[in-house]
Structure 1
């Protein structure tokens, strides 16, 4: 992993609790998250894989890994942003997600970009 390349990718996250699609009485809480990935570096970088750690309010963790995001492996030119929305379901009203993306730069260098932890919380828990 090359730290300077990792630092050239900015990750921004927004989370929305999907109240109408959640079933709290059945311990099913659904969240949409929108992620914007911006290449602030000087060379193109292609998002190859994602790796998520999802933790519910009881501390139970699950992992999700796979190629790209939402069926795509975007190639981000310098200064470009790719935004997508996906979802996660957990069994509690509160949880967290964090992980990393693996990129490949135009010159073939493979590097990981950490995705800082963000909170999943239903509207009934936090105001």
Structure 2
């Protein structure tokens, strides 16, 4: 399942349908020898945008699976990747990814990356697992 296919999906779908596409996409990337971090994050971002319209969290096991994959894509040296990462983390309420992002503030970061991380933390606060809560 390529990004192009995902982008052609309807903007609004039932929770079960979005979860079906997450599983299909995860199976697709797990079957690949090499994947582009940018491509995976763009695909997850597109799926997350569609899932947001369900106003529900992903199934717990599926959310944990996505959380584990997205964590491996964390690259604080790339503004573009951090921006996409942040969007996916917020839209899918990915706790472990969020903690990884927050912990990066104790390291040396590019100013643009630091700004994205700080804005994300300010937007979400301490409760990443509460859907659709804004500070």
TM range (shorter): under 0.3
Q: Which has the higher strand share?
A: 1
Q: Normalized against structure 2, the TM-score is what?
A: 0.25
Q: Which has the higher helix share?
A: 2
